[in-house]
Structure 1
């Protein structure tokens, strides 16, 4: 189902209605909590919000897998004074990437993208972030993400992540999602190269279909990446819980986004060029076929004329009574064919 179908599920519902618009409503919920500071770290998998130490002075990363439990989302909102409109957007997975600022928290929606090589289709999952003064809550529809390098840096005390606050953790997660797009673009580039080879070798019967698929997926990629520039811009501009040191790192994410958008434009031009090349190649091939058919027709026109003349049922045709008429007829036909073939080769039409 497309994103429009997910939006249709919200039609007619009152504002703030928390309705899960995904497909898998039986998926079990999993909550993972990481407490950390510069010196210590611990990880817990909890079954209820009461098991989370909300008052801890440690930085807290609460990652929730599964959005089908709307009562749990309501409870999180109640504990942290989150607007019902925000909770609605978390459960509604057809959201466009965006950012919203509130008095005590920041809400961000991003798309985590991956490329299905077999189907030549971009898979996207909505990731929602709520940034509180010392807590970052992330919401994912399914388990499995691009955040494992960030977790590894936390547990192995690599980089600055344990020395910084949760705003730096937010930067690291956003950076991981943005950098994933480079991997996706590399996979798309491989597909473009394969299509180029197929056009040259004329091996695939689905060239046009594959070209249209890639064009469509690049549009989806652009619609998912372009709004992130506005998100980064607003994070840099707003005086919020984002520290100035972290804003310097966010500028690097903005540079990555500019590179990604440049690659998207380049690949769109390449795919458009592939489309033109494919049509030109098909047209040339058709012209070659028509040329060959025309040449064969031109060769057989005089032969058809001769056969027509001597095949007429007149009572008296002098040549028919000659003893060598039949061999002479074939000699004339062969000389005609060889002469025309030689002429076509001389003109480089063959």
Structure 2
């Protein structure tokens, strides 16, 4: 199943885009007179669900809400991908969404949170996916993050996705074909399914991230070739980005699982399972962070040791050179009466003495690990 529906031979997103274009051109949208949006619509899919099944037919967002209000127990699932401000504002007028939540949904720069605006709950998640790469470098992108916003009302659920992570077509297909009983629970069932997919991706990212961590750890402690400190630092930065997506979600999930009367009891049980998976991911991220800190400290210690070794080698060779410099300085004073200056074998004897001292000094420094 794809994320696109069709209406009278045209994509549903095209129909809604045409409506939006006409609405904005006629000046019916406040503050946007004469403005026409170009490009494809943000509407990915729009369906009406009743008794755990999707109703036949294709609907625009306003038609879907009207249809759901005419049927007991029905609700709308409207999926959006990176909507523009005019599109989101028009949808907000139809569904009665608060302007602050609409602003958050358009800008997509929010921490995970759960807020309530009258009868509508606004859940913000951060999506994440692992970016495959052949080799970890100091500029490799390991984790790509995005955002998922969910508006949960009495007769609708609106999912707003930013980024390419956690596509919802498989979630919709699974609910429609395999989990009709769950769909009967209403909009919060969709919110659970979306949250579950996002958190499952966290687990996948954490497992793949561990492989990079093992590679870095092996490289740092390898005798042949040690990993540059820039790679360790880059991996730590990517982990921080992943941590920002995972850790703050604990509070919204705790609020959902502890809510009374808002979220159906059966759905709260499902959310507790998601919470368990999230807790596991948080623990993994914390352990990775601790391990990366240890690796980073170990690499810094290695750099310090390498620098000390280099300094000892330099000092050792300087000590050897000092012997020759000292004798050259003494016999370069040009005094008239100096020992051995008139001896036939004085120069060869001095050179032989210097070589002997050099060899003995070299062996002593070598034995003590300085060379």
TM-score of the pair, normalised by structure 2: 0.75
Taking only aligned residues, the RMSD between alpha carbons, in angstroms, comes to: 3.3
Q: Deviations over 1:36-89 (max 9, x none)?
A: 55675468776x434536424455321012321x33323322322222332232
Which residue of the other structure, out of 220, 242, 246, is the alignment partner of 1:199? 220
Q: Aligned pair in 2 of structure 1 residues 54, 341: CA closer, same or farther (>3 Å)?
A: same
Which residue of the other structure, out of 118, 124, 147, is the alignment partner of 1:126? 147
Question: Does residue 1:30 correspond to 2:43, yes or no?
Answer: yes
**Alignment match, 2:61:** 49
User: Aligned equivalents of 1:165 and 1:99: distance in 2?
Assistant: 18
User: Aligned equivalents of 2:160 and 2:257: distance in 1?
Assistant: 23
Of 89-98 and 146-155, the range deviating more from structure 2: 146-155
1:52 alignment partner, SS class: helix
User: Aligned equivalents of 1:84 and 1:229: distance in 2?
Assistant: 26
Which residue of the other structure, out of 234, 247, 270, is the alignment partner of 2:268? 247
Paired residues for 1:12-27 under 5 Å:
none
Which residue of the other structure, out of 61, 67, 76, is the alignment partner of 1:60? 76
Structure 1 residue 135 displacement after superposition:
2.7
Equivalent pairs, count: 327
1:128–1:140 contact (8 Å) kept in structure 2: yes
**Alignment match, 1:300:** 321
1:321 alignment partner, SS class: coil
Structure 1 residue 27 displacement after superposition:
6.1
2:61–2:78 contact (8 Å) kept in structure 1: no
1:65–1:140 contact (8 Å) kept in structure 2: yes
**Alignment match, 1:96:** 111
Q: Aligned pair in 2 of structure 1 residues 278, 126: CA closer, same or farther (>3 Å)?
A: same
Paired residues for 1:30-179 under 5 Å:
30-36=43-49, 40-41=53-54, 48-52=60-64, 54-56=66-68, 57=71, 58-68=74-84, 70-116=85-131, 119-120=140-141, 122-142=143-163, 145-157=166-178, 161-162=182-183, 164-179=185-200
Paired residues for 1:307-346 under 5 Å:
307-346=328-367
2:129–2:165 contact (8 Å) kept in structure 1: no
**5+ residue gaps, structure 1:** 1-16
2:221 alignment partner, SS class: helix
Structure 1 residue 205 displacement after superposition:
7.8
**5+ residue gaps, structure 2:** 1-29, 134-138
TM-score of the pair, normalised by structure 1: 0.79
Q: Aligned pair in 2 of structure 1 residues 75, 55: CA closer, same or farther (>3 Å)?
A: same
Structure 1 residue 97 displacement after superposition:
1.7
1:94 alignment partner, SS class: coil
2:67 alignment partner, SS class: coil
